[in-house]
C-alpha cells in the first residue's frame, strides 16, 4: 500500500521520525492496516485457514493497551473499489501475489496469507469491544486524513501515503507503535504507548528545503496504488536528476532520491508539472497533465464529515450519493453491516474471490458457494438489467451478469456469472432493492434457508447463535466436490463445540451458572491440545475441504446480512474456527476414533455435539 519504495527508504534512513508518547488523545486508525498487522502478529496458522480466536484476542489486547493510556480510538475501514474502479490493476496484481503465496504455503514454503474471514472477525470484534468504527464507501485514506485534521490527532497506519498527506497531528507507522510495551510514565501524566511519528519537515529539509506541497506530485510520479505511468519513463531517462537515478545507479532507492532532489528546485506543483511535460512527446502532454493532477488530488483530505457519523451515525459521501444506492444500503455499508463485496457487486458488477491455501489442481474452493453468490447477485441487481460488465456474447441474457475474479489452477481468471432467478416474492415487477427490507422477515428467512437447502424445523434444536453455521454446514455437505468425509465433518463440529466450551468457561453469562463439569472438561481439553497440537502433518485435500466450508460460511454471512439478518450471526471472534485445531482433530479421528468423546466430562457439551451431528447428518 502507498508510495512505491517509500516505506523501505524511510526505514533505511531512520532519521525522519520523532519519538511520540501516545496518551490522552484521540487516534484515527486505518482499520485495514490494523487488521492485517494484528493478523500477522497473532501467530495465526496461515496454512490451515487461520485461528480467529487468537486474532480476536490480539484485537482485544491492542485496544486494551489504548484504553490503559486513555487513548480514544476511531477505526476507519476501506469500503469497496468505488465507481471509477481506479485501483483495478493494483488489485489484480495483489490477487496474483496472494495466489502465489497460497501456492507456496500449500507446498510447505513459508509466507503469510490473511485468512478468508479475518475482516469479518475484525468487524465483529470491534462491535463486541464497543470500539467506534466506520466503513467508508471506497478507499478510506482521504477520509482518515480529513477526520484526523478535524481533531488535530495522529493517524495510525502502515500506508506510506500518509507521509504525503498534510496531517496536523502526524502519521504514526504501526510498525513503530509499541502497544505491547506500554510504559508506566512519570508523574501525573500516566502510562503511554511509545511510538514514532513521521516528520515531513525533516524529510523535506533532507532534500534541500523541498516544498511540502510538492510531495503529492512526487508520490504520483514515483508510482502509487492508483498510478504507475510508463509514459514517465521518458522523463526519468532524459531529466537531469541529481545523484543518478537511472536503472542500476544510485542504489536501491536511487530514482526516489533523484526525483525528490530534482523537485526541490520548484516553488510549487504547477511549475514542476510544466517542467516534467517538456520531456514528453507533445501528443502525450495534456493527458499526462490530467492524470498527474488527478493523482495529486488523491492527497487532499476529504471534506466528508466522519465526525458526524461518530456523533449521530449519519455518513454522507458524494460518491455514495452519485452511485444512487438505496439509503438503507448506504447506512448498512457505513456501519459495517454489509461487506464491500456487496457494493462491488452492486456498483461494478465485479467481485474478487480471495484464494486460500487449497489444492490448486482442483476447482477453486469458491466454486462450492457459487449458488449462494448467484442469489446475492439476483437480489442486488433485480430490476437493473444493465449488463455492462458482460462481454458482447453474453449481453442478450435476460438476467444480470457479474464478473468474478477467481483462480483457475494457479492463475487469476475472470468468469462471467449469471445472477439467480428469485422466488415470486422477490421477482415481481414492483420489487427493487430499496424495497427489500419491506418484504416480511419470514419470507426473507425462507429465501436464506431455501438457498442453503435446509428447513427451519431441523434447526429448532440448535442454539440460535449456531443456526446459520449449521445451515451452512448442511449446504457444504450437500454441495462440496469431492464429497466431505465423515471425519472432516466430525472434526469441524468438535471444533465448534470446543469454541462453545471456551465461551461458557471464559466469558460466562452472568445469568447462567457455569457447571463444574464444564470447567473440568475444558481443563482436560486444554491438556489434550497442549499434548497434540505440536508437529502435525498437513493434508492438502482436507485443507481444501475446510477452505470450501469457509467460502460457504462467508457467502452465507453475506446473504444473511443482505436479507436483514433473519438468522443470528455466528461470532467468528469467539473461536468459531481454528485451522490448527480442526486439522489436528481430523488426523486424530482417523487413527483414534475415541477422540469423538473429547468432551464426555461435560454432559452439556456432549449433548450439543450429538445434536449438531444428528442435525447435519439428517
For 28-63, how does the pLDDT look when each residue is reduced to its tens digit (9 = 90+)? 999 999 999 999 988 678 899 999 999 999 999 999
| Helix, coil or strand: residue 504 | helix
pLDDT at 395 over 60: no
Same domain, 170 and 221: no
pLDDT category at 411 given cuts 50, 70, 90 is: very high
How many other CB atoms are there within 10 angstroms of residue 528's CB atom? 16
Task: Note the Cα 99 to chain centre separation in Å.
Answer: 16
Do 585 and 607 lie in a common domain?
yes
Q: CA 509, CA 255: separation in Å to the nearest integer?
A: 59
pLDDT digits (tens, 9 = 90+) for 250-306: 556 888 999 999 999 999 999 999 999 999 989 989 999 998 999 999 999 998 889
Half-sphere exposure of 325 (CA within 13 A, CB side): 27
Question: What CATH number corresponds to the domain at position 136?
Answer: 3.40.50.1010
Task: Provide mean pLDDT across the span 541-556.
Answer: 98
- Residues 6+ away with beta carbon under 8 Å from 432: 382, 383
d(CA 105, CA 112): 8
User: 150 and 49, same structural domain?
Assistant: yes
Q: 7 Cβ partners below 8 Å, 6+ apart?
A: 158, 160, 173
Burial class (CB in 10 A: 0-12, 13-18, 19+), 118: buried
Residues 427, 429, 434, 437, CA torsion sign:
negative
Query: Are 261 and 289 in the same domain?
Result: yes
280 is a domain residue: yes
CA dist., res. 103 & res. 410, Å (int): 7
pLDDT higher than 60, residue 584: yes
E strand residue ranges, 259-400: 350-352
Distance CA 292, CA 294 (A): 5
Q: Which pairs with CB-CB distance under 8 Å and at least 24 residues apart come from 532-540?
A: 532/584, 532/588, 533/580, 533/581, 533/584, 536/580, 536/583, 536/584, 536/587, 537/587, 538/47, 538/48, 538/108, 538/583, 539/583, 539/586, 539/587, 540/106, 540/358, 540/359
247 and 268 part of one domain? yes
Is residue 248 predicted with pLDDT exceeding 50?
no
Minimal CA–CA distance to 23: which of 174, 184, 147?
184
The model's pTM: 0.94
In angstroms, rounded to a whole number, what is the distance separating the alpha carbons of residues 420 and 458? 25
List all residues 6 or more positions away from 89 whose beta carbon is below 8 Å from its beta carbon. Answer: 228
The overall average pLDDT reported for the chain is: 91
Residue 66 lies in a domain: yes
521 shares its domain with 570? yes
**Per-residue confidence band for 393, with pLDDT thresholds at 50, 70 and 90:** very low
Q: Which of 63, 196, 136, 94 minimizes the C-alpha distance to 573?
A: 63
Please tell me whether residues 95 and 234 are part of one structural domain. no
Nearest to 463 by CA among 340, 608, 585: 608
Does residue 525 contact residue 584 with C-beta atoms inside 8 Å? no
* Contact between residue 525 and residue 503 where contact means Cβ atoms under 8 Å apart: no
Q: What angle do CA 360, 365, 370 make, to 5 degrees?
A: 140
What pLDDT shows up at residue 537? 85
- Identify the burial level of 321 via C-beta atoms within 10 angstroms of its C-beta, where 0-12 means exposed, 13-18 middle and 19 or more buried: exposed
pLDDT at 171: 97
Angle (deg, nearest 10), helices 516-532 and 579-591: 80
Shared-domain flag, residues 93 and 133: yes
The Cα 2–Cα 216 span in angstroms is 12
Residues 450 and 546 in one domain: yes
Q: What is the pLDDT of residue 574?
A: 81
Residue 310 falls inside a structural domain: yes
Helix, strand, coil percentages in the chain from 3-state DSSP, rounded to 5:
55, 10, 35
Is 333 inside any structural domain? Answer: no
Considering the domain architecture, whether residues 217 and 248 belong to the same structural domain is answered as yes
Report pLDDT digits (tens) over 522-547: 999 999 998 888 767 899 999 999 99
Q: Is residue 287 part of a domain?
A: yes
Expressed as residue numbers, the domain containing 588 is: 358-384+398-617
Residues near 404 by beta carbon (within 8 Å), at least 6 away in sequence: 350, 351, 352, 353, 366, 373, 414, 415, 416, 417
pLDDT at 386 over 60: no
Does residue 348 sit within a domain? no
Summarize pLDDT for 337-360 with one digit per residue, the tens.
999 999 999 999 999 999 999 999
In a domain, 7, yes or no: no
User: Is residue 505 domain-resident?
Assistant: yes
**Number of domain units in the chain:** 3
Contact predicate 513/608, CB 8 Å: no
Q: What is the mean pLDDT of residues 7-15?
A: 87
**Percentage above 70 pLDDT, the chain:** 93
Q: Are residues 284 and 313 in the same domain?
A: no
Whether residues 156 and 218 share a domain: the answer is no
The pLDDT of 592-607, averaged and rounded, is 94
Amino acid at each position: 500500500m502507498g508510495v512505491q519504495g517509500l516505506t523501505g527508504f524511510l526505514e533505511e534512513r531512520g532519521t525522519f521520525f520523532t519519538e511520540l508518547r501516545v496518551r490522552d488523545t484521540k487516534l484515527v486508525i486505518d482499520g485495514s492496516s490494523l487488521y492485517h498487522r494484528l493478523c500477522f502478529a497473532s501467530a495465526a496458522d496461515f496454512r490451515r485457514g487461520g485461528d480467529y480466536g487468537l486474532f480476536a484476542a490480539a484485537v482485544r489486547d491492542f485496544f486494551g493497551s489504548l484504553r490503559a493510556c486513555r487513548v480514544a480510538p476511531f477505526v476507519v475501514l476501506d469500503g469497496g473499489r468505488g465507481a471509477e474502479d481506479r485501483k483495478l490493476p493494483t488489485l489484480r496484481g495483489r490477487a496474483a501475489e496472494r495466489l502465489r503465496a497460497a501456492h507456496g504455503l500449500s507446498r510447505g514454503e513459508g509466507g503469510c496469507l490473511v485468512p478468508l474471514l479475518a475482516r469479518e472477525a475484525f468487524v465483529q470484534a470491534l462491535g463486541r469491544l464497543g470500539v467506534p468504527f466506520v466503513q467508508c464507501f471506497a478507499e478510506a485514506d482521504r477520509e482518515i486524513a480529513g477526520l484526523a485534521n478535524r481533531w488535530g490527532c495522529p493517524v495510525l497506519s502502515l500506508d506510506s501515503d500518509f507521509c504525503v498527506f498534510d496531517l496536523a497531528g502526524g502519521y504514526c507507522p504501526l510498525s513503530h507503535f509499541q502497544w505491547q510495551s506500554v510504559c508506566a510514565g512519570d508523574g501525573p501524566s500516566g502510562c503511554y504507548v511509545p511510538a514514532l511519528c513521521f516528520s515531513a519537515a525533516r524529510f523535506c529539509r533532507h532534500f534541500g528545503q523541498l516544498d511540502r506541497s510538492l510531495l503529492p506530485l512526487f508520490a504520483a510520479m514515483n508510482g502509487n496504488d492508483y498510478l504507475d505511468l510508463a509514459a514517465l519513463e521518458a522523463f526519468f531517462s532524459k531529466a537531469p536528476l541529481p545523484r543518478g537515478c537511472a536503472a542500476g545507479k544510485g542504489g536501491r532507492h536511487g530514482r526516489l532520491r533523484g526525483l525528490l532532489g530534482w523537485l526541490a528546485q520548484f516553488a510549487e506543483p504547477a511549475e514542476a508539472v510544466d517542467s516534467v511535460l517538456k520531456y514528453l512527446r507533445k501528443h502525450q502532454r495534456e493527458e499526462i497533465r490530467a492524470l498527474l493532477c488527478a493523482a495529486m488530488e488523491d492527497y487532499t483530505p476529504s471534506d466528508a464529515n466522519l465526525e458526524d457519523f461518530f456523533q449521530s451515525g449519519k455518513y454522507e459521501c458524494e460518491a455514495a450519493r452519485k452511485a444512487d444506492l438505496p439509503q438503507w444500503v448506504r447506512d448498512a455499508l457505513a456501519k459495517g453491516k454489509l461487506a464491500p463485496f456487496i457494493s462491488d457487486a452492486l456498483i461494478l458488477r465485479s467481485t474478487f474471490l480471495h484464494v486460500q491455501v487449497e489444492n490448486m489442481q482442483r476447482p477453486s474452493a469458491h466454486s462450492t458457494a457459487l449458488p449462494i453468490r448467484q442469489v446475492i447477485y439476483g437480489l442486488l441487481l433485480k430490476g437493473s438489467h444493465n449488463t455492462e460488465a458482460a462481454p458482447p456474447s453474453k449481453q442478450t441474457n435476460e438476467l444480470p451478469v457479474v464478473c468474478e475474479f477467481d483462480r483457475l489452477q494457479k492463475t487469476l481468471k475472470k468468469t462471467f456469472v449469471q445472477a439467480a432467478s428469485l422466488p415470486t416474492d422477490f421477482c415481481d415487477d414492483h420489487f427493487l432493492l430499496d424495497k427489500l427490507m419491506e418484504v416480511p422477515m419470514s419470507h426473507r428467512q425462507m429465501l436464506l434457508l431455501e438457498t442453503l437447502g435446509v428447513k427451519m424445523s431441523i434447526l429448532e434444536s440448535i442454539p440460535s447463535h449456531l443456526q446459520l453455521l449449521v445451515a451452512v454446514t448442511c449446504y457444504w455437505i450437500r454441495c462440496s466436490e469431492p464429497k466431505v468425509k465423515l471425519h472432516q465433518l466430525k472434526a469441524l463440529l468438535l471444533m465448534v463445540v470446543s469454541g462453545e466450551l471456551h465461551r461458557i468457561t471464559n466469558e460466562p453469562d452472568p445469568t447462567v451458572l457455569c457447571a463444574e463439569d464444564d470447567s473440568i472438561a475444558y481443563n482436560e481439553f486444554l491438556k489434550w491440545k497442549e499434548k497434540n497440537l505440536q508437529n502435525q502433518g498437513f493434508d492438502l485435500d482436507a485443507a481444501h475441504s475446510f477452505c470450501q466450508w469457509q467460502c460457504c460460511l462467508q457467502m452465507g454471512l453475506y446473504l444473511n446480512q443482505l436479507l436483514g439478518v433473519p438468522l443470528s450471526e455466528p461470532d467468528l471472534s469467539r473461536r468459531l474456527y481454528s485451522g490448527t485445531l480442526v486439522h489436528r482433530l481430523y488426523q486424530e479421528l482417523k487413527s483414534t476414533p475415541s477422540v469423538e468423546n473429547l468432551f464426555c466430562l461435560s454432559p452439556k457439551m456432549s449433548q450439543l455435539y450429538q445434536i449438531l451431528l444428528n442435525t447435519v447428518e439428517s
